[in-house]
Amino acid sequence: MDVHTIKEMTGPQLRDGNAQFSYRDSQLFAQSKMEDIDRVELAILGEQYEMTYNDQEERYEFLYENLPEGEHPYSYIVTIGDDTYETADPFSEESVIRYVNEEIIFDPSVEPEQMNFNENAVLSIDIEGAGVNQLFADTTSLGGPSELEVDLELMEVTLSVTRATSAGVKEIPVTAIDEYGNSSTMTAEVEVTKREYEDENDFDWDEAVIYFLLTDRFFDGNETNNDPYDLGYENYEQHPRGTYQGGDFKGITKNLDYLEDLGVNTIWISPIVENVAHDVRFTDEDEPAGHPYFGYHGYWASDFTKLNPHFGTMEEYHEMIDEVAARDMKIMVDVVLNHTGYGLKEIDGEIQDEERPPGFPTDADRERFADLIRQGGNVGEDEVTGELAGLPDFITEDPAVREQVIEWQSDWIEKSTTDAGNSIDYFRVDTVKHVEDTSWQAFRNELTKRAPQFQLIGESWGAGQNNDHGYLRSGMMDSLLDFEFKYTALDFVNGHLQQANQQLVERNEQMDNTALLGQFLGSHDEEGFLERVDGNVGKLLVASSLQMTAIGQPVIYYGEELGLSGMDNYPYYDNRYDMLGIKLRITIMQEMQ
């Protein structure tokens, strides 16, 4: 069933010297009685013009063409039965329209000047004067949207090109509209080139088969880094799940042959930066009493410029990257732009020394973030400007803060580059819906400038084939994790084949290499698929087959291939199980040889 959303009312809208006037009586509209109005006229410049009723929008409209320059008061004359009265515009503070005919001068350009379907480029607009309130690019020549919005604060946006786009020089018309509705269109050019492959094993972004692992829970390759802060994790024997378990970069390197044999070509590792080093539940008196919870998962950063010492040294990190590249695989690193870890707000410094647990952030740690995060005990629950789970929220709408946070994360492309010239290839971006769009466009632009082939897959909780939350084909994300796919898989394995097929047909039709969905069955934030099918391994195998053959990017959660699963039960998190030395895993590997 088609659903029509009635537009919100505003004052008159100007476009190229023409003014669109609209009138609606809010009280009658609320009662669905707009039809009670017999006639509405626009009074302006000493004349009256009869307005036309738009039944679909439930409002009266009139287009005044060739409005003269100047400041013009206006009003509406409304007739209901025998009653006729004049009223000001209820949706304009002054009932005055101002118009100045000005020329908009700007120059759009694209860098780099060439791109293929596996790369991105940045469209930049150099514009003179002020007053522009809308800027968009027509990217249909690249297979993109006809109105790709350019953020007015950034004056640049990332472009993508679809596989179906032919090679050659493409024109990108860019339209600027000022506060008076004057518009001007200029054209930029970019050359679409043939994709050149390094060797027969080289693959494209839309061919990624992703294996997501929590580094700490995968494999312990170097026991000397198991407790770099000397916090004594062995003392938490009763409830060990919330402590670091020893997984590291060395452990990943030692198991690359296993992952390669699985058919994986992209390894997504949890955030690599240094995290807060204390037990965040040290003041929690709730049951289970004393259960620890450390930042083993990586999402509670304390220093975005350093590696987490639990995972190894820079040499071991580079070794892993080189070994991954040697197998023609790629590395995807998880990054966070929304928040830091617990204990880094100024009020956290008020905790007395004797009450602080070992590893608690110092005053120097807090000083590093003092001007970057929202301070105070309660900063609200707004989806973007509030705090997620009480984690200190970056003020990313502040350009200086945004620039710093983006620099910290983008620098890892260079810092990850080895002597052999290899580096990380993609980012998985955490908590996308909790950061404003300007920051995502700025982040995407910066990454494109540093590495045109670099790609992003975002985690916007709840996004999927029916709602991409506005992040695809918008110069922000190249792909999104698909939170809906597991329900399609459930329909499939439970015999609802027609329903599952229809969902897949609709899902497939909306995807291309510039706007992908990453299908997953389970994750570190949700229960395993086996829990959803009551432990039926056969259904898991069927669901996995659907996951691997569906269009999009399969995202395998570590251990699923072995039948490992668990509930998303805080604070134990049985879905964040250890693969460290599991006998079942070793047995299967031996049988494969």
Please say whether the beta carbons of 136 and 159 come within 8 A: no
Please say whether the beta carbons of 485 and 529 come within 8 A: no
Residue that terminates a domain, selected from 42, 74, 99: 99
Residue that terminates a domain, selected from 55, 74, 99: 99
The pLDDT, as a whole number, for residue 583 is 46
| CATH code where residue 431 lies | 3.20.20.80
7 belongs to a structural domain: no
Distance CA 207, CA 265 (A): 9
Residue that terminates a domain, selected from 192, 221, 251: 192
The first and second tokens of residue 21, run together, are 């006037």
The first and second tokens of residue 579, run together, are 């693969």
2 belongs to a structural domain: no
247 belongs to a structural domain: yes
- Domain coverage including residue 26: 13-99
Q: What DSSP state is assigned to residue 146?
A: S
| Claim to verify: residue 304 and residue 181 sit in the same structural domain | no
| Claim to verify: residue 110 and residue 86 sit in the same structural domain | no
434 belongs to a structural domain: yes
| Claim to verify: residue 230 and residue 143 sit in the same structural domain | no
H or E element in which residue 443 lies = helix 437-450
Distance CA 333, CA 192 (A): 28
The pLDDT, as a whole number, for residue 247 is 95
Residues 6+ apart with CB under 8 A from 8: none
The first and second tokens of residue 374, run together, are 């929202």
203 belongs to a structural domain: no
467 belongs to a structural domain: yes
| Claim to verify: residue 449 and residue 425 sit in the same structural domain | yes
For the whole model, what pTM was predicted? 0.92
The first and second tokens of residue 142, run together, are 């690249």
198 belongs to a structural domain: no
Strand 516-520 to strand 479-482: parallel, antiparallel, or no bridges (unpaired)?
parallel
| Claim to verify: residue 74 and residue 161 sit in the same structural domain | no
| Claim to verify: residue 154 and residue 297 sit in the same structural domain | no
| Claim to verify: residue 148 and residue 272 sit in the same structural domain | no
| Claim to verify: residue 175 and residue 272 sit in the same structural domain | no
546 belongs to a structural domain: yes
Tell me how many helices (H) and strands (E) the chain has: 13, 27
Distance CA 266, CA 206 (A): 11
| Claim to verify: residue 150 and residue 271 sit in the same structural domain | no
| Claim to verify: residue 94 and residue 166 sit in the same structural domain | no
Domain count for the chain: 3
User: Is the torsion defined by CA of 85, 91, 93, 96 positive or negative?
Assistant: negative
Please say whether the beta carbons of 249 and 277 come within 8 A: no
Neighbours of 473 (CB within 10 A): 19
| Claim to verify: residue 174 and residue 295 sit in the same structural domain | no
| Claim to verify: residue 404 and residue 495 sit in the same structural domain | yes
Q: Which amino acid does the sequence have at 26?
A: S
Please say whether the beta carbons of 172 and 188 come within 8 A: yes
The pLDDT, as a whole number, for residue 565 is 94
- How far apart, in Å, do the first and last CA atoms of the chain sit? 55
- CA-derived radius of gyration, the chain: 28
Residue-wise pLDDT tens for the chain (593 aa)?
455 688 899 999 999 999 999 999 999 999 999 999 999 999 999 999 999 999 999 999 999 999 999 999 999 999 999 999 999 999 999 999 999 998 999 999 999 999 999 999 999 999 976 689 999 999 999 999 999 999 999 999 999 999 999 999 999 999 999 999 999 999 999 999 999 998 999 999 999 999 999 999 999 999 999 999 999 888 776 667 899 999 999 999 999 999 999 999 999 999 999 999 999 988 776 655 568 899 999 999 999 999 999 999 999 999 999 999 999 999 999 999 999 999 999 999 988 777 888 899 999 999 999 999 999 887 888 999 999 999 999 999 999 999 999 999 999 999 999 999 999 999 999 999 999 999 999 999 999 999 999 999 999 999 999 999 999 999 999 999 999 999 999 999 999 999 999 999 999 999 999 999 999 999 999 999 999 999 999 999 999 999 999 999 999 999 999 999 999 998 889 999 998 655 455 555 555 55
Query: What per-residue string of b and e applies to 44-53 under the rule 16 or more CB within 10 Å gives b?
Result: beeeeeebeb
| CATH code where residue 46 lies | 2.60.40.10
Helix ranges, 268-396 (H): 314-326, 363-369
